[in-house]
Amino acid sequence: MLSELLPFVMQTHAFHQHSVKQSKGSVNPYINFSDLTWFEFPLPPLDVQQRLANALSLADLATRSLASCALRATQLQQSLIAASVVPPGDSSVTLADVATLDVDHVRVQASDTLRLAGVYSFGRGLLDRGYVQASETKYPMLQRLKAGQVVVSKLKAWEGATAVVPNAFHGAYVSPEFPTFTLNTQRLTSSFMDLVCRSPWFWSAVTAKCKGTAERRARIHPREFLELKINVPSLSYQTHVCRQVDAVQSLIDAFSRRVSAAREVFRTVLAPLDTATSTGTHDR
């Protein structure tokens, strides 16, 4: 067997299953080398092994290279946001100048089927909690989201749980612990506010407004959220920045698709080695 093929054999699903099956211990599982040595798998002729090793090496290299490009593009986007969406200065305004508390209260019926949402921490957007029966919730009233609104988690605001509602979440519901705010889009676009919500300096500013006896019990009141200050550049500048960020996002998405495609090629090439023989799958 060619030594360069061995690392790929150890990445097969069959080898993983064998390793798990032969592991010992419940709290800290471990496996002895002797239990790995009797794993059996199809071993083609040396010339086929060489071709497989070459192809797998290149597929692995392509996957790693594309993943690195995706990471670099993500870092570029973060740097672009940091350079364009800066902390408040002398010309800053409060959120109350460009947004208003706007909550769409809805009394739900036990038989209603509702799509629930939440807010990820650290500016990562909205969380899809799926569909539930209203009878499964503890709230007689929920709040309906509108695309373009800002939504804040009172309980998790201290760790950056703020987001702008995308079109895909229009009409979804949140609990009364998630106040919503409508922007004056003549001054501040929802796309630019989304970048603000993704900025670490904004998370810190929100955290400073949270009040409570302990960090994980700290909450923010809508009035205090509206007291936060941000820079509001011209609409043309906001549009320019958002287009740049969107362009980089398209690049990130393209690299991510190519990473998935490269991984699929790797799995396809690996398939001939990913079948344990009968003696390699039973207990000893």
CA distance 227 to 238: 22
- Which domains are seen in the chain, by residue range? 3-82+255-280 (no CATH), 93-230 (3.90.220.20)
pLDDT digits (tens, 9 = 90+) for 224-275: 999 999 999 999 999 999 999 999 999 999 999 999 999 999 999 999 888 7
Residues 166, 245, 182, 113: what is their CA dihedral angle, to the nearest 10 degrees?
A: 10
Torsion sign over Cα 247, 251, 257, 260: negative
pLDDT digits (tens, 9 = 90+) for 182-235: 999 999 999 999 999 999 999 999 999 998 765 566 889 999 999 999 999 999
| Single pTM value for the model | 0.83
